[in-house]
């Protein structure tokens, strides 16, 4: 009898007997990815900490500027109402109360003395208009009468105290009234001050997007041999950012935040020699890849007769810090902007493709710095859409320092962005 076996069982048993060994480079690739993710997490934590610190400092700055405004208002007799939380205004009220307490005590003392000298104990003078006033007693004063007159004394004293307190309140009210009158008389100036204070109090947020034109990679991309004939060379880059804006004075604003900057370099080339020679122009020494040399698994897919497309994707986390200064105020405000950025490299992937093979991740370019700085300047145009929202247009030129590692020459480390977006006041 012939030995028969289910085909599924045959496969299962045969495969369980075997052992399959992955390439040694798999672990180094896993290790690289884990390391990369660890660094990325660290960078996010770091950048969050920076933003947090800057935010806290800004809050402190805002609080201090508030206190200065209140102090000035009280000293200069401006519009701040009595009863605000300013320590100076509290001191002033306390001084007024102390002064008044002294007057009140001396009046009470005088009243008591007058009572005893002129009318006998417990009798209030006629001059003081009290609801507890009574005719002078002709009867001798007994102990019970003494208690009664003490009560009357207390009632009179309370009345006087109440009168004096009311008087103090009226005085405080009066002290406000001339300011109100002054406010009405000098309305335009005061309004201006109000607006100024209002502007200084409010911090706001800008959300911006920008297409970016850069001399960053074109013609000089270190991934391709300089002599190589390349076609369809183009870049499509963009950036977006969120900025926290803190007014420092009427014209100057401090802005900081976070952004994302992407550069995509695309080109097509036909290898001039065989794939064994680094794809005839792909400078593999500038690529870190587990597949180096690249010919290992790609020989069949890429050869000299087929054009190869290369894509270099660079992504930066951008941390801008800048100052803007108002040059012209009008329907459209014009500001000069200047500042610096920290650039933290996030991705630096190199992909190639041909008609045989879709996008194939070759590795990472190894000549870009993980961390670099940049200086930027620009002109900002702001158009007020509503009380809280402004439209912004900010052409900006950025120049990067230390974008390339070591002594490698950076080709054109500048980029021009046309940031547009909205500024929202809170």
Partner 1 sequence: MEQLIEQCLKKDATAQEKLYETYRKQLFAVCLKYTSSYAEAEDHLHDVFIEIFQKIQNYKGKGSFEGWMKRIAINKAIDKHKKKKVFELPAYRLGSLSDDAHEIYLEMEHIKIPFEKLMEFIQELPNQYQLVFSLYELDGYSHRQISALTGITEGTSKSNLFRAKMNLKKQILEYTNHNHKRLGHEG
Name the residues that contact partner 1, by CB under 8 A: 2-12, 14-15, 17-23, 26-27, 29-31, 33-34, 38, 297
Q: Give CA–CA dist 68/13, Å, rounded.
A: 84
Q: Give CA–CA dist 216/371, Å, rounded.
A: 16
Q: Which is nearer to partner 1, 29 or 425 (CB)?
A: 29
Q: Give CA–CA dist 357/294, Å, rounded.
A: 14
Q: Give CA–CA dist 299/234, Å, rounded.
A: 27
Q: Which is nearer to partner 1, 11 or 401 (CB)?
A: 11
Q: Give CA–CA dist 400/410, Å, rounded.
A: 9
CA distances from 85 to 70, 71, 198, 330 (A): 9, 10, 17, 35
| Strand-pair partners of 287 | 365
Q: Which is nearer to partner 1, 11 or 388 (CB)?
A: 11
Q: Which is nearer to partner 1, 21 or 142 (CB)?
A: 21
Among 75, 66, 65, 67, residue whose Cα is nearest residue 179? 75
Q: Which is nearer to partner 1, 12 or 405 (CB)?
A: 12
Please, what is the minimum distance in Å from the beta carbon of residue 291 to partner 1?
9
Q: Which is nearer to partner 1, 41 or 234 (CB)?
A: 41
Q: Give CA–CA dist 194/297, Å, rounded.
A: 71
Q: Give CA–CA dist 116/133, Å, rounded.
A: 15
Which residues, other chains included, contact 144 with Cβ-Cβ below 8 Å and sequence gap of 6+?
A: none
Please, what is the minimum distance in Å from the beta carbon of residue 46 to partner 1?
17
Q: Which is nearer to partner 1, 265 or 302 (CB)?
A: 302
Please, what is the minimum distance in Å from the beta carbon of residue 357 to partner 1?
11
Please, what is the minimum distance in Å from the beta carbon of residue 274 to partner 1?
21
Please, what is the minimum distance in Å from the beta carbon of residue 2 to partner 1?
5
CB under 8 A, 24+ apart: contacts of 52-55: 54/244, 54/256, 54/321, 55/244
CA distances from 95 to 82, 83, 89, 414 (A): 13, 14, 10, 63
Please, what is the minimum distance in Å from the beta carbon of residue 198 to partner 1?
49
For residue 297, the tally of other CB atoms under 10 A from its CB is 10
Q: Which is nearer to partner 1, 11 or 44 (CB)?
A: 11
Please, what is the minimum distance in Å from the beta carbon of residue 346 to partner 1?
17
Please, what is the minimum distance in Å from the beta carbon of residue 49 to partner 1?
20
Q: Which is nearer to partner 1, 15 or 273 (CB)?
A: 15
Please, what is the minimum distance in Å from the beta carbon of residue 363 to partner 1?
13
Check if the beta carbon of residue 235 is closer than 8 Å to that of residue 264.
yes
| Strand-pair partners of 212 | 237, 417
């Amino acid at each position: 009898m012939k030995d028969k076996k289910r085909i599924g069982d045959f496969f299962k048993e045969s495969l369980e007997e075997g052992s399959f060994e992955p390439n040694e480079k798999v672990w180094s690739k896993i290790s690289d990815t884990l390391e990369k993710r660890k660094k990325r997490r660290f960078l996010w934590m770091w950048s969050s900490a920076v933003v947090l610190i800057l935010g806290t400092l800004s809050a402190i700055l805002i609080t201090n500027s508030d206190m200065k405004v209140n102090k000035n208002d009280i000293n200069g007799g401006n519009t701040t109402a009595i009863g605000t939380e300013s320590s100076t205004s509290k001191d002033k009220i306390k001084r007024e109360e102390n002064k008044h307490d002294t007057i009140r005590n001396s009046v009470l003392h005088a009243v008591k003395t007058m009572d005893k000298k002129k009318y006998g104990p417990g009798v209030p003078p006629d001059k003081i208009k009290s609801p507890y006033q009574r005719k002078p007693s002709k009867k001798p004063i007994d102990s019970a009468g003494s208690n009664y007159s003490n009560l009357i004394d207390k009632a009179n004293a309370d009345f006087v105290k109440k009168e004096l307190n009311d008087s103090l309140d009226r005085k405080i009210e009066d002290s406000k009234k001339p300011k109100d009158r002054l406010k009405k008389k000098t309305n335009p100036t005061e309004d201006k001050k109000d607006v100024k204070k209002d502007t200084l109090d409010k911090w706001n947020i800008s959300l911006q997007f920008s297409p970016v034109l850069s001399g960053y990679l074109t013609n000089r991309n270190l991934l391709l041999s300089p002599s190589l004939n390349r076609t369809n060379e183009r870049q499509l880059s963009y950036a977006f950012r969120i900025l926290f804006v803190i007014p420092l004075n009427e014209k100057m604003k401090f802005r900081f935040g976070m952004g994302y900057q992407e550069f995509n370099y695309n080109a097509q080339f036909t290898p001039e020699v065989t794939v064994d020679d680094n794809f005839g122009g792909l400078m593999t020494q500038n690529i870190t890849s587990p597949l180096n040399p690249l010919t290992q698994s790609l020989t069949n897919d890429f050869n000299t007769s087929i054009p190869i497309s290369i894509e270099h994707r660079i992504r930066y986390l951008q941390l801008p810090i800048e100052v803007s200064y108002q040059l012209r105020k009008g329907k459209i405000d014009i500001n000069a902007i200047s500042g610096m950025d920290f650039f933290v490299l996030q991705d630096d992937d190199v992909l190639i493709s041909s008609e045989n093979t879709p996008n194939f991740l070759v590795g990472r370019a190894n000549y870009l710095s993980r961390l670099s700085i940049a200086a930027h300047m620009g002109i900002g145009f702001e158009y007020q859409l509503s009380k809280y929202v402004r439209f912004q247009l900010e052409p900006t030129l950025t120049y990067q320092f230390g974008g390339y590692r070591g002594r490698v020459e950076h080709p054109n480390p500048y980029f021009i962005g046309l940031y547009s977006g909205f500024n929202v006041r809170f």
